Structure 1
Amino acid sequence: MTVTPEQQAEIEELRSHPHQTLRVVSEGMEKHLYTAIPVLDHGFVRVIDYMGDDAAICQAARVSYGKGTKSVQNDEGLIRYLMRHWHSTPFEMCEVKLHVKLPVFVARQWIRHRTANVNEYSARYSILDREFYMPAPDQINAQSVVNNQGRGDLLSPEDTARVLEMLKGDAARCYDHYQTMIDEDGIGLARELARMNLPANIYTQWYWKVDLHNLLHFLRLRADAHAQFEIRVYADAICKVVADWVPFAYRAFEDYRMGAVTMSSQMMDCLRRMLSGETVTAETSGMSAREWREFQQVLEG
């Protein structure tokens, strides 16, 4: 992880001066404030600010004053009910603002989650650092033969070495040209034009502010085992933060989103037939071959 000396000084300064507040705070989240959590080789996630806690979700659901209820058990039960029945609005009462350093190609996946506020480092105004994501050898895979957007088996050691050599060489060459183009004593090209030559594995940074409902949607997709590794590790890091911030909501999220499955009406029909003793096959299921495979995966756990 690369945190600049200026950023580290800012973190230490912010953490050394706690502020008194009348608003409710989450003790679990307080320990994460400003601290950079390392992700990948040069990236990180850090909490800049947040609003709300588990009690805020309950308060919004009941539209009451003060804490939602004096009973902790009732609060957790209400949150589980809300999560179970897809009542999303109370979860929108909690928000978090993150500072994220990530490769550009990961950012392009991340930005597909549009219900958030984003402000990214400007390569029109500033010069990007010479930092590139290089995958570890155990993350360099061949194209999957069953999933057009996924990875298959690991490459051979020889091919892995060739890939890393090409990635490092191309990144260095592109950045050298970038520096040459923007050099005021040389070409002096506008930064907004020179940036087009930079590869997608260069690191960018942004502030990303999102409410808990939309954050959990992000995590459901990006912390999933089928998500691309490079964005999944960011989601995994954020999961640990959310678990400390709103533990009741996160446990309900694990049970009713991450650990749950969704079945189509055809799947439910097949399941009922199986439970009644009927032998159901792909041919008699009424499902496509792909859906049948997904159904088998659900049954096998």
Structure 2
Amino acid sequence: MPLTPEQQAEIDALRDAPQQTLRATVPGMEKHLYVAHQVLDHGLVRVIDYMGDDAAICQAARVSYGRGTKSVQNDEGLIRYLMRHWHSTPFEMCEVKFHVKLPVFVARQWIRHRTANVNEYSARYSILDREFYIPAPEHLAAQSSQNNQGRGEILQGEEAQRVLRLLQEDAMRSYDHYEDMLSQDGQQGLARELARMNLPANVYTQWYWKVDLHNLLHFLRLRADSHAQYEIRAYADAMCQIVADWVPAAFAAFRDYRMDAVSLSAQAVAVLKRRLAGEVVTKDDSGMGAREWREFEEIWGN
């Protein structure tokens, strides 16, 4: 289960006791406060706190007091201008703090994004739960033949069952040994900080992750991309829905100018110009490497 009964009781108590405030609030974000959005089999994402809104971005850009806007249209236009021209500082005026429950191997990818404040559940002080990420059958895939860090064909039949069985058995066996090694019930055993090293990378951990909007959008641009690993992309997709409700104008601009946009190298621009002029351009005379040419053709055709 993503939440323990104690965590759910805490959430229910917080949502049943709303507080008045003079700071800016966003109805779309208020509905997400404390609510656990399930991700993967045992994971979750929930908003603990947030600061700022679309108007705060515009206020910072104009260096003014109050709402700093003349109309919603003006604010949206300004936000789109800022996003289009890579003006990042105004987006840093908004912040959000998430509680995330995720497999350790996903956390190790996630922590590569270093522009955030993180406090993780400590297995030196506490005992980790017997919870492991086991992929659904549709996410069991062989190694890609073209991409060393990607997946290929989905495993089928007996091979899929064999792999699932190994994952489940290894996870349970490792946790059994983890429990056996712990110093508890009168047994001397190992310290928690040592016993944890026997656990596999699919065991679940938890952390609080606080980040400003600019760096959050950078995270989402990379991790909500179709080429990102599925497991971290599942978290990014859930967070995209939350951010869209929090700062709808900023997220719409982000989608247009970052997520759904195409970045072109100087060589790609030159090839497009030559094509528009009626010239037939091949990989050999494009100035691109094989992988870049393949990616170019995926978007622009051959």
TM-score (norm 1): 0.99
Q: 1:187 to 1:162 in 2, by over 3 A?
A: farther
What is the CA–CA distance in structure 2 between the aligned matches of 1:285 and 1:245, rounded to whole Å? 43
In structure 1, list runs of 5 or more residues that go unmatched: none
The one-letter amino acid of 1:196's match is: M
Does the 8 Å CA contact 1:33/1:48 hold for their aligned counterparts? yes
Aligned to 2:230: 229
Letter in 2 for 1:216: L
In the TM superposition, residue 29 of structure 1 has moved relative to its aligned partner by 0.3
- Which residue identity lines up with residue 3 of structure 1 in the other structure? L
Match of 2:170 in 1: 170
Amino acid at match of 2:162: R
Q: Secondary structure at the match of 1:283?
A: helix
Q: Counterpart in 1 of 2:160?
A: 160
Letter in 1 for 2:191: A
Give 3-state SS (helix, strand or coil) of 2:283's partner: coil
Task: Give the distance between the partners of 1:79 and 1:17, measured in 2 at CA.
Answer: 34
Distance in 2, matches of 1:288 and 1:274, equals: 18
Partner of 2:138 in structure 1? 138
Show structure 2 runs of 5+ residues with no match.
none
Note the 1:180-259 alignment, pairs <5 A. 180-184=180-184, 185-259=186-260
Q: Which amino acid aligns with 2:280?
A: T
For the Cα contact (< 8 Å) 1:180–1:186, is it kept in 2? no
Q: Contact 1:124/1:191 (CA < 8 Å) preserved in 2? A: yes
Deviation at 1:283, TM superposition (A): 1.1
TM-score (norm 2): 0.98
Name the aligned partner's letter for residue 30 of structure 2. E
The Cα of 1:2 is off from its aligned counterpart by 2.3
CA contact (8 A) 2:182 2:192 kept: yes
> Residue 64 of structure 2 corresponds to which residue in structure 1?
64
Q: Given the alignment of the two structures, is residue 18 of structure 1 paired with residue 21 of structure 2, yes or no? A: no
In the alignment, the residues of structure 2 paired with residue 206 and residue 221 of structure 1 have an alpha-carbon distance, to the nearest angstrom, of 20
Separation in structure 1 between the aligned mates of residue 54 and residue 48 of structure 2, nearest angstrom: 19
Q: Does 1:90 align with 2:114?
A: no
Q: CA deviation at 1:156?
A: 2.1
Aligned residue for 2:146, secondary structure, equals coil
Tell me the matched-pair count.
301
Give % identity. 74
C-alpha RMSD of the superposition: 1.0
Contact 1:88 1:213 in 2 (8 A): yes
Structure 1 consecutive aligned stretches of length 4 or more whose deviation exceeds 4 Å: none
Is the contact between residue 282 and residue 289 of structure 1 (CA under 8 Å) also seen in structure 2? yes
Paired with 2:45 and 2:102, the residues of 1 have a C-alpha distance of: 9
Contact 2:183–2:192, Cα closer than 8 Å, also in 1: no
Equivalent position amino acid for 2:253 in 1: A
CA distance in 1, matches of 2:79, 2:18: 30
Select between 183-192 and 201-210 the one with higher mean Cα deviation: 183-192
Question: Could you tell me which amino acid in structure 1 is paired with residue 234 of structure 2?
Answer: V
- Determine the structure 1 residue equivalent to 2:293: 292
